Structure 1
Amino acid sequence: MSSSSARVSTKARRATDSRAAQLLARAGLTARGVIYILIGIVAILVAIGQGGHQADQQGALQLAANQPFGLLALWLLAIGFVGYALWRFSEAAFGVTGEGTGAGPRLKSLVRGLVYASFAVLTFKIITGKKTNQAGQQQDFTASVMHHTGGRFAIGIVGLIIVIVGLALVVEGARQKFMKHLRTGEMSQQTRKMVKRLGTVGTIARGLVFALAGVLVIDAAITYSPSKAAGLDKALHTLRNQPFGEFLLILAAIGLIAFGLYGLAEARWRRV
């Protein structure tokens, strides 16, 4: 094969890879947006006293499953989560668009890929009717780690990392850093303003909820109480149990829904 033919073949392969990456990314970002909207709805149900809901990804998926065409919705979400995970894994392997090939961005993409791969597994379990309890599994894992030497310290470090991630999201939202990932030139001025507002409110709310979840993990390590380390569900229920808890939880829910709506916009305009 001539050098010119090889270059043409390479360019064609890269174009195909780019289209595949875009499809995976946009399907995944759509699924992420939908799941945060559903989590926000579940949080509102908890706030107004409609019990029996886990205020986390599992509760959101079960809410979707109970709707008309729920099974179809779960399949679409599962496919989206797989797409998101594969997209992030590709970034971890080859570099992050707009952030280069540094170790930091690639490591973040790897972690995000693993998280959404776990969401895909959770969704497939619900589809197949397998009993699962996301919050309970987190508590059991925390308890098992605490039984080992240095386990409580390790759990405390994990909690601290979650707090740092949450605070970083708050800063990202406040400074509107998320806008650098979007093709804002393709938006109308009104759309750009709306997306910026949704992203700001949503990212800050998401960061605060993450930070609270991290604080609870640290508290679990200090007090040797694995039940406090139940992730998003525990964080939102903790808000519910505070003075003016219903109001605080509804505010958090609105913020998570805002992030979900921003996520749908990101699926449309994200640079991939």
Structure 2
Amino acid sequence: MSAAGRAGFVARGVVYVLIGVLAIRIAVGSGGGQADREGALAEVSTRPFGAAVLWALAVGFGCMALWRGIRAVRARGGNRKLASRLMDGGRAVFYATVCWGTVTFAAGTDRGSNGNAKSRDWTRTALQLPYGQPLVGAAGCVLAGIGVVLAVRAAMRRFLRRLDLAATPTGTRQVVTALGVGGGVARGMVATAAGIFVLVAAIRFDPEQAKGVDATLRSLAGTPAGPWLLVAVAIGLMLFGAFSFASARWRRM
């Protein structure tokens, strides 16, 4: 299970680094495709041994889902708090979904997927349900809240509690801390912005207002800060990818 968890962190790191690279390309006007998970997988598929890497990523995400699921139902001493177990359970479901999406992409059955269109379609379907508008609004608030929590926890360096850095040099600890803070804040910002767009879609009863990761990142370039804000967030996402690699090495399992 320890090896499974570490494999999952590596897979997560690869995807976040690629999303950051694609976002920088968008910011500087050199194309880049979709700056989201689908775009990252498409980028991998064009490289040598791309098919093998795609299947390796699928295995990695599956391992992460398995590790999170085991943590949700079983822990040392059996005394973990219920909230912590529920969080791991939710993450297990999320990574199982990511694993399946990667499998379908690697198999060639979902190569034309678009994260932005999926977000709009899901929002449109949810809005048509009974009490759909408040449900979508609540989902947007939850997503935005999760983003704020992620950013605050990263700024407070809460992630250091889960890393075993006692035997590492001071310089290594400082680098890992910088990666965790910068990357975690950037990831939280993206999640918060995406949640706000979902909330706006609910308020206006307009699913077109909902945005996936790619559209959320592109919207940053339209702020008064211009493309520089997108570049800053993109670098942050790359830092989070690097932090995921560090987690694969020093995470307490």
TM-score interval, smaller chain: over 0.9
Question: Would the alpha carbon gap of residues 53 and 133 (structure 1) be closer, same or farther in structure 2, given more than 3 Å must change?
Answer: same
| Alpha-carbon distance, 1:215 to partner | 0.5
Moved over 3 A (4+): 97-100
- Percent identity between the two aligned chains: 38
Instruction: Give 2:141's aligned residue.
Output: 160
| Alpha-carbon distance, 1:98 to partner | 10
Structure number with greater Rg is 1
Aligned residue among 153, 160, 163 for 1:182: 163
Contact 2:34 2:214 in 1 (8 A): yes
Instruction: Give 1:103's aligned residue.
Output: 82
User: Mean alpha-carbon deviation: is it higher for 40-49 or for 130-139?
Assistant: 130-139
Q: Equivalent residues in 2 for 1:221-260 (5 A)? A: 221-260=202-241
Deviations 1:183-236 (A, max 9, x none): 011311110110001101110111111111111110111112212223312210
Contact 1:33 1:261 in 2 (8 A): yes
Instruction: Give 1:37's aligned residue.
Output: 17
Q: Partner amino acid for 1:230?
A: K
| Alpha-carbon distance, 1:240 to partner | 2.0
Residues of 2 paired with 1:261 and 1:213: CA distance? 23
| 1:85 correspondence with 2:65 | yes
| Alpha-carbon distance, 1:99 to partner | 10
Instruction: Give 1:113's aligned residue.
Output: 92
Contact 1:201 1:255 in 2 (8 A): yes
Q: TM-score normalized by structure 2?
A: 0.95
Residues of 1 paired with 2:30 and 2:128: CA distance? 36
Contact 1:99 1:105 in 2 (8 A): no
Residues of 2 paired with 1:261 and 1:33: CA distance? 6
Residues of 2 paired with 1:35 and 1:249: CA distance? 17
| Alpha-carbon distance, 1:115 to partner | 1.3
Residues of 2 paired with 1:63 and 1:245: CA distance? 25
Contact 1:98 1:181 in 2 (8 A): no
Instruction: Give 2:101's aligned residue.
Output: 122
Residues of 2 paired with 1:99 and 1:260: CA distance? 31
Q: Partner amino acid for 2:26?
A: V
Residues of 2 paired with 1:196 and 1:123: CA distance? 30
| Alpha-carbon distance, 1:100 to partner | 4.5
Contact 2:23 2:32 in 1 (8 A): no
Q: Partner amino acid for 1:108?
A: M
Deviations 1:51-102 (A, max 9, x none): 361111111111111112111111111110000010011111114x799522
User: Mean alpha-carbon deviation: is it higher for 121-130 or for 196-205?
Assistant: 121-130
| Alpha-carbon distance, 1:34 to partner | 1.1
Q: TM-score normalized by structure 1?
A: 0.88
Residues of 2 paired with 1:67 and 1:99: CA distance? 45
Instruction: Give 1:27's aligned residue.
Output: 7
Residues of 2 paired with 1:241 and 1:114: CA distance? 33
Question: Would the alpha carbon gap of residues 127 and 174 (structure 1) be closer, same or farther in structure 2, given more than 3 Å must change?
Answer: same
